Amino acid sequence: MKARGVTTLLCLCVPTAHSLTPIDGLPIIVPLFEQQVHHSYTTEQGLPDNDVSQLYIDRQGRPCAVTARGTAVFNGQRWLMETPAPSAKSPRPTLNPQQLTRLQQLAGTEIHIRAAAEQSGEWAIAADSGLYLGTGQQWRLALVRQGQVRWAPIDVRAVCYDAAGLLWFAAPQGVGCRLSKDAWKLFTGADGLPFNDFTCMASGPKGLWLGTRNGAVHYRDGAWMFRQGRRWLLDNHVRDLAIDTKGDVWLATTAGVSCIAHQPMTLTKKAAFFEQELEKYHRRTSLGYIDPAELSVPGDKSTAKVVHSDNDGQRMGLYLGAVSLGYAATGRAQLKQEAERAFHGLAFLSEVTQGGSHPAPSGFIARSVIPTTEPDPNLKYDLSYDLRRQKRDARWKIIQPRWPVDKSGKWYWLCDGSADELDGHYFGYALYFDHVCKTEADRAPVRAVVRRITDHLIDHGYHLVDYDGQPTRWGYLSPDDLNRNEAWVVERGLRSFAALTYLSVAHHITGDSKYRQAYLELAWKHGYAMNGMTQPRDLAGPGTFGQGDDKMAFMNYYHLIRYETDEKLLSMFYHAIHRHWLMEQYERSPWANFIYAACCLGKVRRDHWGEMDLTPPASSFADAVSTLQRYPLDLIDWPMSNCHRIDLIPLPDILGERSGPAGYRVDKYVFPIDERTELRWGEDPYLL
């Protein structure tokens, strides 16, 4: 089990955290919000048994859990058995014998009552044969209606009144709310109701909660939310639930008690939390690389062990960009120090490859490094590994050793570098140079490393050339490859813009005109600007697989557009990012939405058809901020599936490349970030 890294999230959360009032024309504020968090309780916290059948809130406002081994009361820290034990019967309304007899006269003696609720003298009964309303002495079967839609509810599972006195019921048909005497609002999957195999229901100060056999449903302020999987529940089958006076919900499962609480939060506070998590669990080596951590005990972060990846360059570049923007937004000295540390770690990846037993050409980047005090990675990544990879990918490069030792003897470095890594390098270097470096002493090292890497690309015909003198698997950026090699057709636009970005950043940072000349040659003579304009990637519509490439494309749009002054090239870049964002908007990604806004807010593109206002709608800012707010604090990669949801529209696999079923909500957007297993930008948010 893995705990995911948070580098890109910090890149968005840190600078956004301080936008508490509209700045630079942004049409949104970010107020204090409530962060939902999950607390789990088992016998380790005092429950007499993990198999909890019932939950209620006693007269003192304390949660009480009923098990076969007794009833326990929560004292704020632990569950305690009381002497004498509290009544196992919850303080919920039940019919007296006379009221039951009257109901049976209408519904029959075989009626199975699932739940009862009472408000101002009116009784509501959820039963297998329907929804019954009455005074206790007189009863009627409710036939609900919304406009031309009529329900005769059967198999009613739950019923309750909310704080406003509105009556709610839940049945497999959906959820109903009585607005007035004969006026109802009915909810089905088409209205956003996530699931309908209900077990229980309760209303509290923060909305309506419904338990189901496969998750918990929350309705608040007109929006439906779904909670499932170990991130939110000890077990998906919710047997019972109760809501305390704070609005926190307590849920009974066969694996213990789950509490979904509401924690006041700001994006500033949230960013600080993720920074702490990063330092505790995701730092690797003395250079501070950021990687995933694996847990030897599921859910127990004390067992976390950080593991290396083959993407140190991209991740460190994203982190360098994050803390550089964070420093620009806040002026925090700590973020400046983190940026300096990240820069040195990133720059080291183009230094460690020089010398040693397998020296690479100047400017070649390592994908990752591992101290030689750790086990030799070549034992795992040996020739048989390369041969296995080549069976799946005919273009996979055979190169051994895959992890040479550097000249100091202290580091293994991973060869076969890629343009993916370069995207991170240039993204980070540019933001660091622009926002952190204030003196020539600060800027000189950045100029040196950018010049070193860019000269490597130019000197080798726009290839990343490894220690064997041959291009790497993913190091092809030349005109011959991108314009005349069918192997690169899918990524033609992506790689064209990547190459232009590297040269644009190099020109901006060094001031050397040779990089601008090379840039213009690729853009015009070799058609790189047109390549990216017509094909940012092989996009077959919203949800097309390749979110990792989407992430890299937006990385490069950011600097291409910020640094470009030629109106014709700018128009081409605007066309590319606008076309791309029209499909990305349905992911509600802060990464795509904020970068698009940074590039296009207040911009107009003109062509032979007329003018187009590129300014993003206010909803795109709200979507991005909502995702940051809803991003769970629990970064553990818990299993989760949305295949059973009834608010799901299946997404066809147009290109035949998906690893599993995919879909999106009835509103055409992906399921929110806290309702899906994918937590990293770059993974597919449409996967179920």
- Model confidence pLDDT, tens digit, residues 461-483: 999 999 999 999 999 999 999 99
Average pLDDT, the chain: 91
pLDDT given for residue 14 in this prediction: 43
What is the DSSP code string of 521-544? IIIIIS-HHHHHHH-SS---STT-
pLDDT at 84: 52
Place of tokens 């390749």: 546
Q: Is residue 22 very low, low, confident or very high in pLDDT (cuts 50, 70, 90)? A: very low
Written as one letter, the residue type at 485 is: N
Q: Select the more confidently predicted residue: 85 or 448.
A: 448
Which has the higher per-residue pLDDT, 289 or 2? 289
- Over residues 478-498, the pLDDT tens digits come to 999 999 999 998 899 999 999
Closest Cα partner for 56 from 94, 91, 95? 91
Q: Is the model's pLDDT at 670 over the cut of 80?
A: yes
Is 70 exceeded by the pLDDT of residue 409? yes
pLDDT at res. 7: 44
Percent of the chain scored above 90 by pLDDT?
A: 78
235 φ/ψ angles, rounded to the nearest 5 degrees: -150, 145
Q: How far is CA 672 from the centre of its chain?
A: 8
Tokens 């799901």 sit on residue: 648
Kindly tell me the burial class for residue 391, based on how many C-beta atoms sit within 10 Å of its own C-beta (0-12, 13-18, 19 or more): exposed
Q: What is the mean pLDDT of residues 381-402?
A: 95
Tens digit of pLDDT for each residue in 292-317?
A: 999 999 989 999 999 988 889 999 99
CA-based nearest residue to 365, from 437, 440, 291, 460? 460
Determine the pLDDT at residue 86: 58
If one compares 652 and 670, the residue with the highest pLDDT of the two is 670
Q: Please list the residues that pair with 198 across neighbouring strands.
A: 212
Q: Using one digit for the tens of pLDDT, what is the confidence trace for 122-137?
A: 999 999 999 999 998 9
- Is the pLDDT confidence value at 685 over 70? yes
**Which segment of 66-80, 90-104, 588-602, 641-655 scores lowest on mean pLDDT?**
90-104
The answer on pLDDT for 162 being more than 90 is yes
Angle, in degrees to the nearest 10, between helices 492-510 and 440-459 = 140
* Neighbouring residues of 438: CB distance < 8 A, sequence distance ≥ 6: none
State the average pLDDT over residues 583-599.
94
H or E element that contains 40? strand 33-41
Whole-number Å distance between alpha carbons of 480 and 484: 5
pLDDT of amino acid 148: 84
Instruction: Show Cβ contacts of residue 401 under 8 Å, excluding neighbours closer than 6 positions.
Output: 358, 378
- Average pLDDT, stretch 531-542? 71
Q: For the segment 452-463, what is each residue's pLDDT rounded down to a tens digit?
A: 999 999 999 999
Q: Which of 304-313, 654-663, 672-681 has the highest mean pLDDT?
A: 304-313
Compute φ and ψ for 103, nearest 5 degrees: -65, -40
pLDDT(640) > 70: yes
In DSSP terms, 118 is beta-bridged to 123
Q: How would CATH label the architecture of 89-264?
A: 7 Propeller (2.130)
Sheet (strand 63-67) strand order: 52-57, 63-67, 70-74, 79-81
Please give the average per-residue pLDDT across 18-43, as a whole number.
74
Question: Model confidence at 386, in pLDDT bands (50, 70, 90)?
Answer: very high
Q: Identify the residue with better confidence: 527 or 535.
A: 527
pLDDT digits (tens, 9 = 90+) for 560-569: 999 999 999 9
Query: Is the confidence at residue 6, as pLDDT, over 50?
Result: no
Query: Which residues is 79 bridged to in the sheet?
Result: 74
Quick: pLDDT tens for 51-67: 999 999 998 899 999 99
Q: Which region holds residue 543: left if phi is over 0, alpha if psi is between -120 and 50, else beta?
A: left
Q: Quick one: pLDDT at residue 24?
A: 52
- Could you tell me the residue ranges of all domains in the chain? 89-264
Half-sphere exposure of 155 (CA within 13 A, CB side): 8
